[in-house]
Structure formats: C-alpha cells, structure tokens
Amino acid sequence: MKIVVRSLIVITVLLTVISCRNKNEVKETKNNLKLRFIDEYVLPDETTFENTRVGGLSGIDYANGNWYAISDDSDTPRFYSANISYDINGFDSVTIKSVTHFKDSIGEVIPKGMVDPESIRYDNDSFIWTSEGNIKDGLKPFVQIADSSGMFVNDFTLSNRYLPNTELNFGPHHNGVFEGITLSFDKKGYWVAMELPLKEDGVEPTLEETDSPVRIVYINKETGHTEKEIVYELDKVTRPAADGATFVLNGIVEILEYDTNRFFVLERSYSMGYADGGNTVKIYDVNASKGTDVSSINSLKGESYTKVTKKLLFNFEDIRKDLTNGIVDNIEGITFGPDFANGNRSLIVVADNNFSLYGPQLNQFILFEVEK
C-alpha cells in the first residue's frame, strides 16, 4: 500500500511539473511576435497643406479612426491629422486632413526655433508631445499636454538631470533628449525615452562596443511627476561614415508599450556619406519586467543594476531591396493601426525626411503585420 501511495505521489509531482512547464512555455511564447513587411508608401516631398510643407514626420499615432503625425521642423511646431488607407495587401493612400499649430499658455502660436518636436501620442482628447529643446542654447526639453486645438494644457515636472546645465560631465547631450513617448499599457501614465545616455551615465555609442545606457522614464498622469526610471543599452554604431564625412550616431528614436512592461523600441544608427541614406534601423522587443528602478541613482557609472532585456524583432536591412531606391530613411515614428480582417494587428512606421536638408530623403511610411 505504501508503494502504491508513493507511486501516486511521484506521478502527481511529475504531472504538476509538466503542467507548470507547459504553463511557462505558454507564457514564454505569448510574446513570440513576428513582423511581416507588407508595403511602403512615399508621400511626395513637395506635399503642402495650408501653407505648410508636410515633412519632418518624427512621431505618429492612431486613435479613433484618425492618424496624427508631429512635424520636427524649425518652423512653427505643428502636427497633422491624416487618413491612411490600407489593408492586408498594402497601402491605398495617405492624405493630409488638417494641420494644428502648438500654442503657448496664452494661446499664441509657439514661434520658430523655441522647441524641437519629436514625438506625439493621443490620450483622451488631448495630445502628449515631447521637445528635445536646445541644450546648447539652454532651451529646456519638455513633455507637455495640448488640447485638440494645440493649446497648452499642462507640462510635467522633470528631474534636473534632464535639463540644460553648464557642467561638463552632467546632464543631457545636445539633440539627445526626449525622442520617444508611449502611453503606458494600463493608461495610467507615459513612458518617455532619451535618445542618448546622460553624460553622467555613459558615453554616446561609437563603432566600438561601449557602455551606452539610456534612461526610459515613467511619468504618473495623476501626479504629473516622473517616477520609475529603467535602463536600455544601446547598440554600437553600425558602420563608419563615408565619402569624407565623420558624423555617426545611434540612439532610441521611439518606443511603444504593447503589454505590461513589454515594448517595441525603434533604434536607429546613422552614418553620414551613404547614398542609401546611411540609416540602419531595428525594432527590438523589450522586456522591462526585471529592470531596476534607477531613479535614485545619480550616475549609472560603476553602479550595480539590471537593464531591460532586448531581442531583435526586425532589421530593416532585410527589406532594403523592397524599398524606394533601396533607402531605409530616417525612421522615427511607430504606432499600431486598426486590426486586419484576420485579427492580427497592423503596425506603421514613418520617416522624418528632414525636409531633404542634407540631401534627397523620403516621407516614407512602412506597413507591417504583427504575427503571433
């Protein structure tokens, strides 16, 4: 009888272990996503709307049947609403419907050169947008809320570490601040991503392997304050500059939280001097569930902490041959669109063409299917 009981216990334990393993396998494969490239659409460089040139599209979002794209322009800061028509077979059209100029607290249109718009998200009839400011000139980066008319509603309180300062080894790098923002999955706040490391945290990426940790900051909607900060490690620069040029960089250009502590992160390496645009763009699937909250750590150098984990989800080099003139342009925006008829999610990225300031570039939209 004891032998039978012991056997039953062993069998029960084994079944429990197998059951747990199966549950873990389901959990692990739950986020085993794949992106399937569908199509590209290029909005003509000469496109204008209500006396504005449409370009510099550095952030994009979709909500309630409408598309919104922010313009990274030295002219008056603005965002566009658009109709983007597509299905599982590809794009039909991209049509600009309206333009909204951002306004300050007294209702005046923000003048040229005062902000550097980078990212935008729609949230409950408002728009949350970021500016990198101008660190060299002492213009503060910010995260603000505007209403549907572009009118200033509120801004969020930022740690001093993100503000311009005169210290040589402290604070943000010029043009490396709040490049990306996403509404949190629970809709209680926002995650904002730095493009580059803070000076006190690490060095900007180079062609060699470096320690280049970037902070991603959580903002509580209710309090208006930054709270948790997690760390993402940047890749090295992909290739050297060419044709006599020397400028290279790599950084986060946008983030999108698709589940609790799970993000798509757009990482873009740029090297000047290439006919194909010089951009190497990747989408990483990021798990932040075990990332250490480093908000109380003034400098990450020499500190012990756990970074978020990243897995390559898509490399745009794989579709370069399918794109216009083999160009992967300056992709800076990412968002989900409406689901396809088969139930899978659609995903669109958009390129900031810099208004072809540095040579011919593309207002490039690229469509994916998110396969599970």
Rg for the chain, CA atoms, rounded: 22
Task: Tell me how far apart the alpha carbons of residues 87 and 340 are, in angstroms, rounded to a whole number.
Answer: 7
For residue 7, the model assigns a pLDDT of 41
What local confidence, expressed as pLDDT, does residue 31 receive? 65
∠ CA 211-269-280, rounded to 5°: 135
- Residue 151: its pLDDT value, please? 98
Q: What predicted TM-score, i.e. pTM, was given to this entire model? A: 0.90
The contacts of residue 190 (CB under 8 Å, 6+ apart) are 121, 123, 128, 143, 181, 182, 183, 184, 218, 219, 221
Question: Can you spell out the DSSP letters for 179-208?
Answer: EEEEE-TTSSEEEEEESS--TTT-PPP-SS
Can you tell me which residue has the tokens 């208004």? 355
Q: What pLDDT does 30 receive?
A: 52
Task: Report the C-alpha gap between 308 and 316 in whole angstroms.
Answer: 22
Pair type for strands 78-87 and 90-101: antiparallel
Angstrom distance (rounded) from CA 280 to CA 328: 7
pLDDT computed for residue 372 by the predictor: 85
pLDDT value at position 269?
A: 98
Neighbours of 28 (CB within 10 A): 9
Contacts of 371 (CB under 8 A, 6+ apart): 33, 34, 35, 36, 344
Looking at residue 73, its pLDDT comes to 77
Instruction: Give which of 308, 134, 283, 138 is closest to 217, Cα–Cα.
Output: 308
**Ranges under pLDDT 50 in the chain:** 1-29
Under 8 Å between Cβ of 318 and 35: no
Identify the pLDDT of residue 61: 98
